[in-house]
Structure 1
Amino acid sequence: MSVSKNNVLPPLIVIVALMLTILVMRGPITCVGALADEIISALQIGYPAYGFLSALPIICFGLFCAVAPTMSKRYGLLLTVLICLGLILAGTLGRLIPIYSVMLLATGLIGIGIAILNVLMPVLLRDYFPKNIPLVMGVFTGFIGFSGSIGAYFSVPLLNASGSLQISLGLWVLMVGLALLLWFLSPRGKQITVSGGVFEWALLKKPLTWAVIFVMGMQSLTIYTTVAWLPTILSTLGFSASEAGLGSAVFLLVSAPASILTAAFIKAVGGERPASLIMTASFAIGIVFWLFGGTWSFVGCVLAGIPQGITFSMAMILMAKKTNSLSQLLVISSLAQGIGYVLAGFGPFICGLLYQGDGQWLSVVGFMLCAVALWGLSAWYAFGDRKLFD
C-alpha cells in the first residue's frame, strides 16, 4: 500500500465527504428491516422472498470485497470510491420501483458498492489522517453503527409522515447524491493505490483461519439478521412500527460508542479472551430479553447492541494480530470478509425460512443463539498465541 505522509488535516469539504460516505455504508441496508411489512406488502412477496432480499447485500459483501484492490490499482482509490457511490446511487434509485426483480437488482448494486467501500475506506482514512489512526478507525466503526441506526429509526417516521414507501427509501438517494457532489467539489490529491499479498491455499487447511473467518462472519450474521428481523419480532410483541424501529435503532446506536471503547474494555477485563466471553454472554442474554416484551425488549436491544460494536472492532484487531505485515493483513482481511460475509448472508434468509408468520420466534432465536455461541467459541480459540503465517 502507498499512502501520503501529509500530516496536515484535509480540507473541511473532504472531511464532510468522508463522513457522508461512511453514513451511506449501512443505512441503505438497515432501513429495509424497519420497513419489512411495507416492503412485503408493496412487492406482494412472502417471508422467504423477503429474507432473500435482506440477505442479498451481505452476500454481495462477501463476493465482491476482493475486487477492491484490483479496482484501486487500476483507477486509483478516490475514483474507485466515486464508482462505488455511483453504484449505490443507482441502487437506491432502482429501489423506488416496486417490482421484486428490480428491487433485487437494485439491492445487489447497493451491496456491491458498499462491499468495495468496506475494504477501501480504512485505507483512505489512513491516508488522510496518518497520525491519528487508532482514533480515526474508532470513529469510523462508530459512524458505521450510526449509519445503521439512521436507517433503522428514521424510515418509519418518514413513512408515517409521507404515507409513501418511496419517500423512506428515497432518503438514501439524497444522502448518496450529496456525498458524490462533495467529492466532485473536493480538491484532487495524489492517486492512492492498494496492492495485495499472495493468497496461499494452505491457509484454508488451518483451523485458525476458519476461526478468524467465523469471528468475522458470525458477528456480521448476527448484526444483519438482527436489523432485518428485530423490527418484525418487536411488532408481533405489540410494539408499534415506530417503537419497533426505535428498538432496532437502539441496538445499532449503542454499538457506536462501544466500538470506540473496545481497546479500553479489553484492557479492563484482562485480554481478548475474557472480553469475547463477556460479549457472548451479553449478546445471548439480550436476544432472550427481546421476547420478554415491554421495557425488557429495549434492555435486550442494549445488551445485544454493545457487543455488536465491540465484536466488529475485535474482528479487526484479530486480523491485525494474526499477521506479520500489511500484505498478509490484506490477504486475510479479504479472505475473512469474503467468506465471512457470504456466511452472514445466509442469516436473514434462514430466518425467513424458519419463521412461519405465526408470531412464534423460538426457532429464530435458537438460530441466533447458535450463531452467537459459534462466534464466542471461535474468538476464544482465535485469540490464542498462534499465528496465521510463519
Structure 2
Amino acid sequence: MTKSSHSAVSKTLAISAIILLGANLRAPITSVGPLLDQIIQTFHLSAVSAGWLNALPLLAFGLLAPVAPIIGRRFGLERALFIAVVLVALGTLVRSIGQQWGLWLGTLLMPSGIALANVLLPPLARRDFSHNPAGIIGLYVTVMSVTASLASGIANPLAELSGSWQFALGIWVLPAMLAVALWGRRIKGLPRSEPVSPPQSVAKHLPDAAASKLRSPWRSALGWQVSLFMALQSLSFYTLLGWFTPYAISQGYSANEAGGLLFCYQIVAIFVNLLGVSLLKKSTDQRLLAFCATLAIFIGIAGLLLMPHLALLWMLITGLGNGSSLLISLSLFGLRTHDHHQAAMLSGMAQCVGYITASVGPLAFGVIHTLYHAWQPALVVLLLSVVLQMLFAALAGRNQKI
C-alpha cells in the first residue's frame, strides 16, 4: 500500500470512528424521555426521583468534563475515546436489565463515557482536521441528531412491540458495541500517550505563545461567556427532552404522538447542521447566528406555553434553535482558542459549567410543576433562562480569542 493510500484509509477510519461514536452520544439519553411514565410506574418513582433520572446524566457530563482533558493527555485522545465508548456500552447494557439498581448504575456509567467524548471529540477534530474542524464537528453533530431523534421516535413503538421498555433502552447497546470494535481497531499501534505540552511547531507561530498556551479559560471572561451560553442552551434542551412527554400527555397527546414530536424536535437539527456549518465557515463573528438561534428557542417555548395545540410547529422551531445553539457552542471551542490543547481546556470548562447548570433544569422543572400542580409556571421560568442565553449569545459570539 502506498503512503497516500495508507493515509486515505487512516482518514476514512478516523472519520468512520467519529461518526459511529457520534451515533452513541445522545441516543441512550433521548430514548428515556418517551418511556419515562413506564419507568416511573415500574419502579414507583416520585416526580423528584424522575427528575434525578433526567438530571444525573447532565451532572455526570459536568463533573467529569474537567477530568476529560487530563485523561486525554495521559492516554492520548484516541485511547481516552475508546474508554469512553466502552463506558457507554456497559452503562447502556446494565441500565436495561430491569432492576432498579441497574437503572441507576447504568445511568451513571453511560453518561460518564459520553462526558469524556463530549469534551475530547472537538479537540480531536481540531487536531486531525485542522483545515475544516467545523465540518467534522457538524458531521458528528448531524449523526448525533439523527440517532437522538430516532431513539425518541421509536422508543414507545419498540416498547409496545416487545412488551418491554427495557428492550427499547437496551437495543442501543448494539451501535455502542460497533463503536467499541472500531475504536479498538483505531488505537492499535498508537503511541502510549500524547505530549502534555503543545508542539513547538505550533507555539512558535503564535504571539506570546507561552502565555496563550498556559492561560486557563477559567480565568478568562470569554471562557465564562462561552460556558454560560452552552449552559443555558443545554438547560432548555434537556429540560424539554425530559419533561415534554408528560406535558404533551397532559395536553391530550398520546405517548406515541409525544414521541413523534420529540423525534421532530431533534431531527430538524440535521438541516440546521448542514446550513450552520456553511455559515460558520463564512462568518468571523457569530453574534447574529447565536442570537437568532436563541430567539428561535424563545419563540418555540412561548408557543408551547400559549398555544400547545400547535406543538408540532413549536417543537420544530425550538429544535431549530437548540440544534443551531449546540453547533455554535461546539464550534466556539475551536474558534475562541489558539490550538487543540487550549480547545480541550475550554471544552472541558464549558461542559463542566454547562452541564452542571443544565442539570438544574429537569430537577427545577419537576419541582415547580409539583409545587404549583401546573405546567405554566415551569415553562415561564424556562423562558427566563432563554432570555439570559440571548445575553451570552451576544458576548460569546464576538470574534476574540482567550
**1:319 Cα deviation after fit:** 3.5
User: Which one of 348, 351, 374 corresponds to residue 362 of structure 2?
Assistant: 348
Is 1:380 aligned to residue 381 of structure 2? no
User: Which one of 290, 312, 315 corresponds to residue 298 of structure 1?
Assistant: 312
Cα distance change, pair 9–258 in 1 and its aligned pair in 2 (3 A): farther
The aligned residue for residue 3 of structure 1 is none
Question: Helix, strand or coil: the match of 1:45?
Answer: coil
The aligned residue for residue 296 of structure 2 is 282
Q: Is the 8 A contact 1:223 1:308 kept in 2?
A: yes
Deviates more, 1:284-293 or 1:152-161: 284-293
Distance 1:14 1:313 in 2: 20
Distance 1:274 1:132 in 2: 22
The two structures have a TM-score, normalised by structure 2, of: 0.85
> Which whole-Å deviations, capped at 9, do the CAs of 1:308-343 have from their partners, x for residues lacking one?
121112223334343344433332222111111111
Q: Is the 8 A contact 1:9 1:129 kept in 2?
A: no
Amino acid at match of 2:143: F
The aligned residue for residue 148 of structure 2 is 148
**1:16 Cα deviation after fit:** 4.2
Cα distance change, pair 216–47 in 1 and its aligned pair in 2 (3 A): same
**1:43 Cα deviation after fit:** 1.4
The aligned residue for residue 367 of structure 1 is 381
Alignment of 1:1-390 (within 5 A): 7-10=7-10, 15-125=15-125, 129=129, 132-184=132-184, 188-191=188-191, 193=194, 195=196, 198=214, 200=216, 204=218, 207-265=221-279, 272-291=286-305, 292-294=307-309, 296-356=310-370, 360-384=374-398, 387-388=401-402
Cα distance change, pair 126–335 in 1 and its aligned pair in 2 (3 A): closer
Deviates more, 1:310-319 or 1:121-130: 121-130
Q: Count matched residues.
A: 381
Distance 1:85 1:319 in 2: 22
Q: Is the 8 A contact 2:31 2:151 kept in 1?
A: yes
Structure 1: runs of 5+ lacking an equivalent? 1-5
Distance 1:183 1:317 in 2: 24
Amino acid at match of 1:144: M
Q: Is the 8 A contact 1:77 1:120 kept in 2?
A: yes
Cα distance change, pair 95–304 in 1 and its aligned pair in 2 (3 A): same
Q: Is the 8 A contact 1:259 1:312 kept in 2?
A: no
**1:298 Cα deviation after fit:** 0.4
Distance 1:271 1:130 in 2: 19
Distance 1:215 1:369 in 2: 15
Q: Is the 8 A contact 1:7 1:129 kept in 2?
A: no
**1:106 Cα deviation after fit:** 1.3
Amino acid at match of 1:112: S
Distance 1:326 1:170 in 2: 35
**1:371 Cα deviation after fit:** 1.6
Amino acid at match of 2:37: D
> Which whole-Å deviations, capped at 9, do the CAs of 1:146-182 have from their partners, x for residues lacking one?
2221221111110111110111111112221222234
> Which whole-Å deviations, capped at 9, do the CAs of 1:112-160 have from their partners, x for residues lacking one?
1000011222344456655553322211121121222122111111011
Deviates more, 1:350-359 or 1:261-270: 261-270
Q: Is the 8 A contact 1:17 1:183 kept in 2?
A: yes
Distance 2:188 2:218 in 1: 41
Distance 1:23 1:218 in 2: 24
**1:269 Cα deviation after fit:** 9.8
Distance 1:342 1:46 in 2: 22
Deviates more, 1:172-181 or 1:357-366: 357-366
**1:348 Cα deviation after fit:** 0.9
Distance 2:219 2:33 in 1: 37
**1:22 Cα deviation after fit:** 1.1
> Which whole-Å deviations, capped at 9, do the CAs of 1:175-226 have from their partners, x for residues lacking one?
21222234445683534637475464xx656544432221111111111111
Distance 1:332 1:143 in 2: 23
Cα distance change, pair 205–176 in 1 and its aligned pair in 2 (3 A): closer
Structure 2: runs of 5+ lacking an equivalent? 1-5, 198-212
Distance 1:326 1:79 in 2: 17
Distance 2:95 2:51 in 1: 16
Distance 1:121 1:136 in 2: 10
> Which whole-Å deviations, capped at 9, do the CAs of 1:74-121 have from their partners, x for residues lacking one?
333333222222211221122124444432221111111000011222
Amino acid at match of 1:280: T
Give the root-mean-square deviation of aligned CA atoms: 2.9
Cα distance change, pair 46–199 in 1 and its aligned pair in 2 (3 A): farther
Question: Helix, strand or coil: the match of 1:306?
Answer: helix
Amino acid at match of 2:238: Y
